[in-house]
Amino acid sequence: MVGEIDGRDSVLIPTGFDSKTYACVRSLAARGIHTIIASEYEDVPVSTSRFCDELIVLPSPLDGLMPYRDALLEIAARPDVGTIVPTRSIDPYLFSNYRMEFEQYVTLPTLSLETLRTVHDRIRLVRAAEAAGVPVPQTQRFGDVDDWNSELIIKSRYNLLVEAYINGYASDQSETIKVVKHLQPGEKPDLETIRSEYKHEPIVQQYVRSDDEYLFGALYDHGEALTTFQHRQVRGDSYTGGGGVFRETVNIPELEETGRMLLDHLDFHGLACVEYMKDENTGEFVLTEINPRIWQSIPCAVQAGADFPYYYWLLATGRADEVGSGYEIGVGSHQLYGELGHLLSIQREESPLVNKPSLLRTAWEILSSCYEMPRFDMLRREDPLPFLHSIAFVLKQWQEAPKSLIKSDIHSQRVPDDDRQKEN
Q: How many domains does the chain have?
A: 1
Domain that holds residue 348: 210-419
Query: Is 246 contained in some domain?
Result: yes
Contact indicator for 232, 247 with CB cutoff of 8 Å: yes
Nearest to 362 by CA among 335, 343, 334: 343
Taking the CB of residue 361, how many other CB atoms lie within 10 A of it?
10
- Condensed to tens digits (0 to 9), the pLDDT of residues 101-151 reads 999 999 999 999 999 999 999 999 999 999 999 999 999 999 999 999 999
Query: Is 217 contained in some domain?
Result: yes
Which pTM value belongs to this model?
Answer: 0.90
Name residues of the chain where pLDDT drops below 70. Answer: 1-8, 397-398, 400-424
CATH number of the domain encompassing residue 284: 3.30.470.20
Q: What are phi and psi of 175, to 5 degrees?
A: -145, 150
Contact indicator for 63, 39 with CB cutoff of 8 Å: no
CA dihedral 390, 394, 395, 396 (to 10 degrees): 100
Query: Is 346 contained in some domain?
Result: yes
Query: Is 102 contained in some domain?
Result: no
- Condensed to tens digits (0 to 9), the pLDDT of residues 283-326 reads 999 999 999 999 999 999 999 999 999 999 999 999 999 999 99
Query: Is 104 contained in some domain?
Result: no
Query: Is 337 contained in some domain?
Result: yes
Angle at 88 between CA 65 and CA 330, to 5 degrees: 175
How many angstroms separate the CA atoms of 1 and 19, rounded? Answer: 20
Query: Is 130 contained in some domain?
Result: no
Query: Is 278 contained in some domain?
Result: yes
pLDDT reported for residue 404: 38
pLDDT reported for residue 4: 44
How many angstroms separate the CA atoms of 85 and 11, rounded? Answer: 7
How many angstroms separate the CA atoms of 308 and 293, rounded? Answer: 10
